[in-house]
Structure 1
Amino acid sequence: MQIGMIGLGRMGGNMVKRLRDGGHEVVGFDMDPDSARDVDSLESLVAALDAPRVVWVMVPAGKPTESTIDGLRELLEPGDIVIDGGNSKYTEDRAHAASLAEKDIKFLDCGVSGGVWGAERGYALMLGGEQETFDHVRPLLETLKPEGEYGLVLAGPVGGGHFAKMVHNGIEYGMMQAFGEGFATMMRSEYIDDAAKTMVSWREGSVVASWLLDLFENATKDDPELRDVPAVANESGEAKWMVEAALELGVPTPATGAALYARQASRGGADDVLRVVTAMRAQFGGHVTKVDEIATH
């Protein structure tokens, strides 16, 4: 098939490579003139594609995605298809679909997982939209997904793809937090000589075997205690959206919530909280409050 790709960064650029390796014709556009772009504007991108066009938007969520979809709305023709493969919030997808539908332009939202390894391993793709539109672009999706039976799903109507990706990322937060807590516990125990080696042994035969453990082995090969890795983890927002959605649906999500709060605490926000706790303990119980005194207790 032929496809236009907007956004040629770490994800979009690798997706272009996998699509081209699969025999598809890709016209790439990025705002960065130093990117490996084929055209230098949205107008040129649309002009280079044959109708009915398929345009994949792979830019940061929020204003970049909004402005890109708004621009495509004015340039595309009835029957063309826009796929939002970024990390847009699922609640925004229906507005995008409705706006494009006014011009008879079709819309799919697509949650994409695979990171920088996707060009080689393939991408897990979760889509939201109409079956007919999904079927039309399926040859592209089959090339992007991993080989085998799994890795591609039409999760539901518009918004379903990004909702599924949001939940996927929430689960990912919880899994990484659990591995981190297990590693830290073993690091501090006299019963474990090599925490990293022990965790890596779980890659085969264990019920917790996962690609995350494969990546953990890569990270600990030259730094088995991860001393060179900063103890700060940012959060993309999707776990926060999942907790919010789960609360609205009446679903308890303690594991995802704990992992989210741990990441937020790592950025220093917990310091002020703990200063308040320490100050109040000192007031009612005479507990130690000064940093140098705490270090000796």
Structure 2
Amino acid sequence: MTDNKTFPSEIPTLYIVPTPIGNLGDITQRAIEVLSSVDVIAAEDTRHTGKLLAHFNIPTKTYALHDHNEQQKAQVLVDRLLQGQSIALVSDAGTPLISDPGYHLVNKCRQAGVKVVPLPGACAFVTALSASGLPSDRFSFEGFLPAKSKGRQDKFREIERAERTCIFYESPHRIMGSLQDMLAVLGPERIVVLARELTKTFETIQGMPLGELIPWIEEDDNRKRGEMVLLIHGYREDVKDEIPAEALRLLKLLVAELPLKKAAAIVAETHGLKKNLLYKWGLENLE
């Protein structure tokens, strides 16, 4: 393991620095060292970042870099890097570039041969996925949902039969509209997890069929507030409908005496079914 506490690098560097998504205790020691040592911090909102810096007694000056000025200001920062300065890029919360500004700056830096060093740290959708109980072997982060109903329904139709877990960010004032559009396309049985206010006092992670989740949220206005992550279980065939009841009964009996793979092979041979279908059902229901 390398313990490198010398900042900034001798080579002018752009550091990508994640910041806490709520709990200030989640900032890393390395992030504090980098923010304290660079020449300037490029921040999405300098006032917001200023509060974070004040909390950790970091005196480094900030420079505004946000969605509305990034394409114009990125070259200014690249020029400063080429002149020998080191810069840290932060967003309001979490990892820069993940549904936050920074793409144009990083792209220009790499084109100009400027060293770019990413720091690991907080990211809301990864935090939500880890605690969601949904499959994490295959997933896609889709960013913020479209603002209008038609765009949202088009997006849900696009992922309707995707077998991976799909993850979105959503704002409080659009959450109910988005869930209603999701219901119209994906139906009430699809499992959806709402993760809100992650790492904060009123952190909530609730997952259930969509038809139950919507009324659960509507029971309490507080459940519509805060920073939100929506995680949608991937599409699954209803395997119970494809496997005869007699085959399932035999599989259950055999599994009591045999490994699941062997039991599935015997039932598949006996009933003329696919072994993988039986094996998958067994993994989800018997072990």
Which structure has greater strand proportion? 2
Q: TM-score, normalised by structure 2?
A: 0.29
Which structure has greater helix proportion? 1
Q: Which is bigger in relative contact order (C-alpha 8 A, separation at least 6)?
A: 2
Q: TM-score, normalised by structure 1?
A: 0.28
| Bigger CA radius of gyration | 2
